[in-house]
């Protein structure tokens, strides 16, 4: 029996949550029937597909990029906000809240930039029973052409002003959803905070063109031969989202309770967002890909991991990784690692060799069977030698001990050797190696004291010309 | 080139044979091929490429399948191996490329290289595109190639790409040698071999069929051409040297295989005995099963550990229902008008390791068809009779001796490759030999001309 009984229950700016897993405002939260099925599957909350004056959508609306046989590594949409009448959405919010009082329903809102219009929609959404409001200042396609969505999120003054109007009226927490289609996410985040936002959610989708059809020369998704820039999401965007989440959380002017969004498809992704300070996470693409059922392992996996780590609540680990993200100038320049190839695990693919020669620092060599280390043998020389070899089919009757090609032992000449004196510890070989733990990065600097660029500058060890000439940290 | 009927249209297996000898390894479709191609790690200096006698750049052609560049993939294959389609089906890849795949050491199935190679080659054939190579500018030089099997075809392709005329002479009515007539139909259908050769013929290869070259003929070729390539393969299957061997109902594996592949044989009697346990014996035994035999035995004078068939071929035969009699020696064939059975004697090992007949162990295995598959003789004898001006062609134990890198024989004007030099290996070995010889001939001729 584990001494820890972890719980996923949490609160988000005052809203009690059964778990941190919310469905993002998107097609999976289009109507009450869907959201109730999602709650049955285990989702703790749902941000309703953005409510506003009903729009007309195009067909088709989605496109994606696949990666080496895996589908939907990146996903893109040009669907607008809800195409359903406002009153239908609001009636269904009331119905869902009546049936699922413990589940979180957030109304995502987008209306024209008029104070009274915002006041009216806020009132109606809260009257319907929404637990909170999410202001969609992030939608990058279509709505932005009409002065809404990211057209608001991209202008800090609008962002602050509209947040302020909403706050004049709202009785429930106000979450501002940020667009990543800006140069610095902290600018609109600070504006939202100045406007009185209770929380933030980030990131919305990223402007994208997913691809061009090489037969028709038309981009995707195809609408009668034409396309338009869409919103990019899915696994591919997670690193971008994590970066922006960290930027917000590390900035005193921006920091607010944050609902993390962007490429989350499993409990590991969720844990990473929480480690960077998020209180809840929102999911869309993964649910569109595999259905609501994915939440089961998100809960199960996160709970098991928490038990293993000794965390009882999400607060126990929320933001734990924030202190570990630093500016480059604060990194230890004396930290030294080198690659070590574990011969017993090496399968002899030599991907590390070619990667090091062409993509890194030419310090992996194929010379284990040479009498002396030979760092002058280039990949081209290896290939020329291989082409000259005469190979034949091993035939049992013609070759003693032949026909036994299959070997579980990698021949020594195929196992690359790292020249540790020249290895810069870049990681590349260990990243390309297909075998887990076959190439490890080993620390060799043990007796050297840590020292950063910042410290070197402070000690006067860096010549004037090489110093920072302009602050890039706004 | 004169208008001629394309090779694949000149002959076909009988419909019932085609039906019974369906693909042993079915083709991959695009949906299966691309993920499989994506599994390939893209090794540097890849072991699969090294293991392939023709050094096909396997990771390169596989990545081209993954990227959707199928014509480039086929070209990569053909560039190294002009019989890339045939080899994708006929090669014992378990001991070649797929056997060498690093995935074995990774606790995973090897990449299905053969099926991917076939996928790329099938795509090329289906596209109707021509061979992706042009003949070289004519040099005025010419070579005679004796035999039109895989070695000569590969040699001819290299010669044509370098503008050297290639005249192929073969005793059979169609090209390809054992690639056409000798590979089990469920691996490589005869028509597929011919289709590939038809494509190769686009390089302007001149075929002379039903032409047997003897010592005098060889002297004539030597005179008419700037170089001669010997791709003569091996000769007839050995005889047992026992009574009754001349009876009807006694045949050999190569004749049986050629017979059913070319449509002249569509059925066999119920009881069949195959003598020998090499890969060809297995092919013949499985063929007998598929041609309708109910009892098929392979008899071999040693045990399963000593047989020369690959393990996977042995397993395949067992799966097809072939039964094995180990440690028996044929001592005679019974029958008055036709074969009715084979006399066998059990063998036992002595202390010194030799095997001797076990006294009183003789028995008869009844059979309506006895197929001999105990190795092929060489037929290089006529070479020693040839009175070449430029020197003797060295032959050892019937095998023509060559420089492995160039294919050149002890007589510099003569080159050789394939079974007649290596004792009988695979199609891919013959292609590799022929390719090296083609390059070798061109290099030698160039050196001659520079010298002149």
Rounded to whole angstroms, how far apart are CA atoms A314 and A298? 14
**How far away is chain A from the Cα of B279, in angstroms, using its nearest Cα?**
10
pLDDT in tens, chain A (474 residues): 455 689 999 999 999 999 999 999 999 999 999 999 999 999 999 999 999 999 999 999 999 999 887 899 999 999 999 999 999 999 999 999 999 999 999 999 999 999 999 999 999 999 999 999 999 998 888 888 888 888 899 999 999 999 999 999 999 999 999 999 999 999 999 999 999 999 999 999 999 999 999 999 999 999 999 999 999 999 999 999 999 999 999 999 999 999 999 999 999 999 999 999 999 999 999 999 999 999 999 999 999 999 999 999 999 999 999 999 999 999 999 999 999 999 999 999 999 999 999 999 999 999 999 999 999 999 999 999 999 999 999 887 666 555 454 567 899 999 999 999 999 999 999 999 999 999 999 999 888 999 999 999 999 988 766 665 555 554
Specify the pLDDT at position A81. Answer: 95
Specify the pLDDT at position B12. Answer: 83
Residue B133 lies in a domain: no
**Residue B398 touches chain A, beta carbons under 8 Å:** no
Bridge partners for B370 per DSSP: B250, B273
Residues in B touching A403 (Cβ below 8 Å):
95, 310-311
Specify the pLDDT at position A107. Answer: 98
Indicate the residue of B99, B429, B436 with minimum beta-carbon distance to A405.
B99
Residues B153 and B231 in one domain: yes
**Residue B429 touches chain A, beta carbons under 8 Å:** yes
Q: Which residues of A touch B (CB under 8 A)?
A: 68-69, 347-351, 353-354, 366, 379, 382-383, 386-398, 403-410, 414, 434-435
Q: A211: which 2 tokens?
A: 């691809």
Pick from B135, B123, B42, B55: which is nearest to B87 by CA?
Answer: B55
CA distances for A466 relative to A443, A453, A456, A470, angstroms: 28, 11, 11, 12
Strand runs (DSSP E) across B1-104, as ranges? Answer: none
Rounded to whole angstroms, how far apart are CA atoms A321 and B343? 83
Pick from B57, B38, B175: which is nearest to B111 by CA?
Answer: B38
In three-state secondary structure terms, A281 is: strand
Bridge partners for A176 per DSSP: A135, A200
Rounded to whole angstroms, how far apart are CA atoms A461 and A413? 45
Pick from A125, A91, A98: which is nearest to A110 by CA?
Answer: A125
Residues B402 and B430 in one domain: yes
Among B372, B394, B428, give the residue marking a domain's end.
B372
Count how many pairs of residues, chain A against chain B, have C-beta atoms within 8 Å. 104
Quote the longest CA-to-CA distance of chain B.
72
Residues B368 and B389 in one domain: no
Supply the DSSP string of B385-452, one letter for each residue: H---SS----EETTEEP--TTT-B-SSTTEEE-THHHHSS--HHHHHHHHHHHHHHHHHHHHHHHHH-
Rounded to whole angstroms, how far apart are CA atoms B233 and B133? 27
Among B315, B337, B372, give the residue marking a domain's end.
B372
Among B337, B354, B372, give the residue marking a domain's end.
B372
Q: Do A405 and B95 touch (CB under 8 A)?
A: yes
Residues B311 and B212 in one domain: no
Q: A416: which 2 tokens?
A: 């690359």
Burial of A149 (0-12, 13-18, 19+ CB in 10 A): buried
Pick from B16, B58, B451, B8: which is nearest to B266 by CA?
Answer: B16
**How far away is chain A from the Cα of B92, in angstroms, using its nearest Cα?**
8
Residue B191 lies in a domain: yes
**Residue B443 touches chain A, beta carbons under 8 Å:** no
**How far away is chain B from the Cα of A367, in angstroms, using its nearest Cα?**
14
Residues B120 and B26 in one domain: yes
CATH number of the CATH domain containing B392? 3.50.50.60
Residues in B touching A391 (Cβ below 8 Å):
50-53, 55, 432
Residues B121 and B152 in one domain: no
Indicate the residue of B104, B278, B429 with minimum beta-carbon distance to A393.
B429
Indicate the residue of A68, A403, A408 with minimum beta-carbon distance to B95.
A403
User: What is the domain extent for residue B25?
Assistant: 8-127
CATH number of the CATH domain containing B46? 1.10.1060.10
Half-sphere exposure of A383 (CA within 13 A, CB side): 9
Residue B65 lies in a domain: yes
CA distances for B387 relative to B169, B256, B390, B409, angstroms: 20, 36, 9, 15
Mode of pairing for the β-strands spanning B399-400 and B414-416: unpaired
Residue B225 lies in a domain: yes
Residue B276 lies in a domain: yes
**Residue B309 touches chain A, beta carbons under 8 Å:** yes
| H-state helical runs in B262-351 | 279-290, 311-319
Residue corresponding to tokens 């070729």? B221
Residue B41 lies in a domain: yes
Residues B254 and B361 in one domain: yes
pLDDT in tens, chain B (452 residues): 457 899 999 988 888 898 999 999 999 999 999 999 999 999 999 999 999 999 999 999 999 999 999 999 999 999 999 999 999 999 999 999 999 999 999 878 999 999 999 999 999 999 999 999 999 999 999 999 999 999 999 999 999 999 999 999 999 999 999 999 999 999 999 999 999 999 999 999 999 999 999 999 999 999 999 999 999 999 999 999 999 999 999 999 999 999 999 999 999 999 999 999 999 999 999 999 999 999 999 999 999 988 989 999 999 999 999 999 999 999 999 999 999 999 999 999 888 878 899 989 999 999 999 999 999 999 998 887 666 667 899 999 999 999 999 999 999 999 999 999 999 999 999 999 999 999 999 999 999 887 65
Residues B418 and B307 in one domain: no
Supply the DSSP string of A399-448, one letter for each residue: STT-S----SSPPGGGS-EE-TTT-----HHHHH-SSTTTEEEEE--TTS
Catalytic-role residue among A139, A233, A352, A363: A139
Mode of pairing for the β-strands spanning A230-233 and A206-208: antiparallel
Residues in B touching A397 (Cβ below 8 Å):
278, 308
CA distances for A206 relative to A145, A210, A281, angstroms: 15, 11, 18
Residues B120 and B28 in one domain: yes
Rounded to whole angstroms, how far apart are CA atoms B368 and B293? 10
CA distances for A112 relative to A130, A146, A167, A202, B376, angstroms: 20, 8, 16, 22, 89
Residues B75 and B105 in one domain: yes
Q: Do B425 and A406 touch (CB under 8 A)?
A: no
Q: Do B102 and A408 touch (CB under 8 A)?
A: no
Q: Do B102 and A69 touch (CB under 8 A)?
A: no
Rounded to whole angstroms, how far apart are CA atoms B329 and B309? 18
Residues in A touching B373 (Cβ below 8 Å):
none
Residue B244 lies in a domain: no
Specify the pLDDT at position A4. Answer: 65
Residues in A touching B103 (Cβ below 8 Å):
347
Residues in A touching B94 (Cβ below 8 Å):
405-406
Cβ atoms of B196 and B86 within 8 Å: the answer is: yes
Residue B245 lies in a domain: no
**How far away is chain A from the Cα of B308, in angstroms, using its nearest Cα?**
5
Specify the pLDDT at position B1. Answer: 47
Specify the pLDDT at position A146. Answer: 87
Burial annotation A276-294 (CB, 10 A radius, 16+ → b, else e): bbbbbbbbbbbbbeeebeb
Query: What sign does the CA torsion over B89, B95, B100, B101 have?
Result: positive
Q: Do A395 and B308 touch (CB under 8 A)?
A: yes
**How far away is chain A from the Cα of B365, in angstroms, using its nearest Cα?**
27
Angle between helices B150-161 and B190-200 (to 10 degrees): 20
The contacts of residue A145 (CB under 8 Å, 6+ apart) are A151
Q: Do A386 and B47 touch (CB under 8 A)?
A: no
| Measured torsion, CA atoms of residues A139, A141, A146, A147, in degrees rounded to the nearest 10 | 40
Residues B393 and B293 in one domain: no
Residues in B touching A434 (Cβ below 8 Å):
41, 106
Q: Do A406 and B104 touch (CB under 8 A)?
A: yes
Rounded to whole angstroms, how far apart are CA atoms B281 and B296? 11
Residues B168 and B270 in one domain: no
Rounded to whole angstroms, how far apart are CA atoms A371 and A122? 79
Catalytic (active site) residue A139: yes
Label residue A89 left, alpha or beta by phi (over 0 means left) and psi (-120 to 50 means alpha).
alpha
| ipTM of the shown complex | 0.89
Cβ atoms of A179 and A197 within 8 Å: the answer is: no
Angle at A194 between CA A105 and CA A246, to 5 degrees: 70
User: How many other β-carbons are positioned within 10 Å of the β-carbon of residue A320?
Assistant: 14
Total tally of structural domains belonging to chain B: 3
Q: Do A392 and B106 touch (CB under 8 A)?
A: no
Q: B333: which 2 tokens?
A: 């064939």
Mode of pairing for the β-strands spanning B142-146 and B165-169: parallel
User: How many other β-carbons are positioned within 10 Å of the β-carbon of residue B265?
Assistant: 18
């Amino acid at each position: 029996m584990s001494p820890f009984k972890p719980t996923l229950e949490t609160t988000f700016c005052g809203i009690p949550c059964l778990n941190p897993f919310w469905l993002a405002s998107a097609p999976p939260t289009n109507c009450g029937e869907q959201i109730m099925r999602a709650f049955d599957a285990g989702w703790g909350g749902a941000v309703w597909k953005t409510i506003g004056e009903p729009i007309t959508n195009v067909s088709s609306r989605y496109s994606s990029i696949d990666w080496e046989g895996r589908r939907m590594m990146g996903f893109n949409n040009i669907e607008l906000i809800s195409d359903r009448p406002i009153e239908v959405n609001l009636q269904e919010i009331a119905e869902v809240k009546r049936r699922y009082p413990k589940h979180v329903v957030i109304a995502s809102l987008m209306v024209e930039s008029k104070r009274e219009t915002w006041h009216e929609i806020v009132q109606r959404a809260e009257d319907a029973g929404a637990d909170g409001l999410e202001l969609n200042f992030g939608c990058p396609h279509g709505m932005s052409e009409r002065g809404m969505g990211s057209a608001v999120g991209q202008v800090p003054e609008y962002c602050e002003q509209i947040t302020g109007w909403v706050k004049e009226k709202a009785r429930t927490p106000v979450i501002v959803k940020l667009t990543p289609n800006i140069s610095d996410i902290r600018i609109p985040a600070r504006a939202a905070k100045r406007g009185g936002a209770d929380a933030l959610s980030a990131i919305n989708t990223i402007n994208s063109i997913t691809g061009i059809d090489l037969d028709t020369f038309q981009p995707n998704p195809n609408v009668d031969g034409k396309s338009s820039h869409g919103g990019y999401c899915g696994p591919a965007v997670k690193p971008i989202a994590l970066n922006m989440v960290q930027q917000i959380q590390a900035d005193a002017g921006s920091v607010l309770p944050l609902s993390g969004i962007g490429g989350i498809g499993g409990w590991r992704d969720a844990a990473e967002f929480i480690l960077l300070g998020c209180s809840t996470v929102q999911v869309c693409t993964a649910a569109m890909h595999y259905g609501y059922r994915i939440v089961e392992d998100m809960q199960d996996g996160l709970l098991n991991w928490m038990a293993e780590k000794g965390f009882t609540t999400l607060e126990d680990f929320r933001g734990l990784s924030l202190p570990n993200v630093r500016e480059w100038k604060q990194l230890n320049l004396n930290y030294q690692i080198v690659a070590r190839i574990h011969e017993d695990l090496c399968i002899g693919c030599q991907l590390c060799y070619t990667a090091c020669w062409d993509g890194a620092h030419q310090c992996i060599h194929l010379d284990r069977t040479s009498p002396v280390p030979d760092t002058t043998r280039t990949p081209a020389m290896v290939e020329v030698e291989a082409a000259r070899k005469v190979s034949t089919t091993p035939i049992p009757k013609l070759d003693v001990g032949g026909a036994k090609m299959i070997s579980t032992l990698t021949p020594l000449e195929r196992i690359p050797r790292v020249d540790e004196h020249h290895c810069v510890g870049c990681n590349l070989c260990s990243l390309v190696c297909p075998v887990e733990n076959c190439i490890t990065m080993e620390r060799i600097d043990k007796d050297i004291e840590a020292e950063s660029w910042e410290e070197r500058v402070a000690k006067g060890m860096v010549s004037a010309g090489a110093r920072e000439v302009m602050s890039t940290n706004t | 080139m004169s208008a001629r009927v394309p090779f694949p249209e000149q002959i076909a297996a009988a419909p019932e044979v085609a039906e019974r000898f369906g693909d042993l390894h079915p083709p991959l479709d695009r949906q299966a091929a691309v993920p499989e191609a994506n599994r390939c790690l893209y090794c540097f200096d890849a072991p699969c490429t090294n293991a392939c006698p023709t050094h096909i750049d396997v990771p390169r052609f596989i990545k081209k399948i993954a990227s959707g560049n199928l014509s480039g993939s086929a070209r990569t294959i053909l560039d190294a191996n002009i019989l890339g389609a045939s080899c994708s089906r006929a090669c014992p890849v378990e001991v070649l490329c797929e056997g060498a795949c690093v995935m074995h050491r990774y606790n995973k199935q090897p990449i299905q290289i053969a099926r991917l190679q076939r996928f790329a080659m099938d795509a090329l054939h289906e596209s109707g595109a021509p061979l992706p190579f042009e003949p070289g500018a004519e040099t005025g030089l010419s070579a005679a190639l004796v035999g039109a099997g895989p070695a000569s075809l590969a040699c001819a392709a290299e010669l044509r790409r370098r503008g050297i005329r290639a005249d192929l002479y073969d005793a059979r009515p169609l090209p390809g040698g054992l690639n056409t007539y000798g590979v089990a139909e469920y691996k490589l259908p005869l028509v597929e071999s011919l289709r590939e050769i038809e494509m190769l013929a686009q390089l302007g290869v001149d075929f002379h069929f039903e032409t047997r070259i003897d010592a005098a003929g060889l002297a004539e070729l030597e005179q008419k051409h700037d170089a001669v390539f010997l791709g003569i393969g091996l000769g007839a299957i050995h005889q047992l040297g026992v009574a009754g061997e001349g009876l009807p109902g006694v045949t050999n594996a190569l004749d049986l295989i050629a017979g059913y592949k070319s449509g002249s044989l569509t059925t066999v009697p119920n009881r069949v005995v195959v003598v020998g346990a090499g890969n060809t014996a297995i092919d013949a035994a499985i063929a007998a099963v598929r041609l309708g035999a109910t009892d098929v035995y392979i008899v071999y004078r040693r045990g399963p550990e000593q047989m020369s068939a690959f393990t996977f071929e042995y397993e395949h035969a067992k799966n097809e229902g072939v039964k094995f009699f180990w440690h028996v020696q044929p001592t005679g064939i019974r029958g008055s008008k036709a074969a009715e059975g084979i006399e066998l004697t059990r063998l036992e090992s002595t202390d010194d390791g030799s095997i001797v007949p076990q006294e009183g162990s003789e028995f008869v295995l009844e059979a309506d068809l006895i197929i001999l598959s105990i190795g092929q003789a060489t037929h290089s004898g006529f070479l020693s009779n040839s009175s070449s001006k430029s020197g003797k062609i060295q032959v050892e134990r019937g095998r023509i001796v060559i420089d492995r890198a160039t294919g050149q024989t002890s007589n510099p004007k003569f080159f050789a490759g394939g079974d007649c030099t290596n004792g009988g290996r695979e199609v891919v070995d013959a292609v590799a030999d022929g390719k090296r010889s083609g390059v070798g001939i061109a290099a030698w001729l160039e050196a001659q001309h520079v010298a002149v």
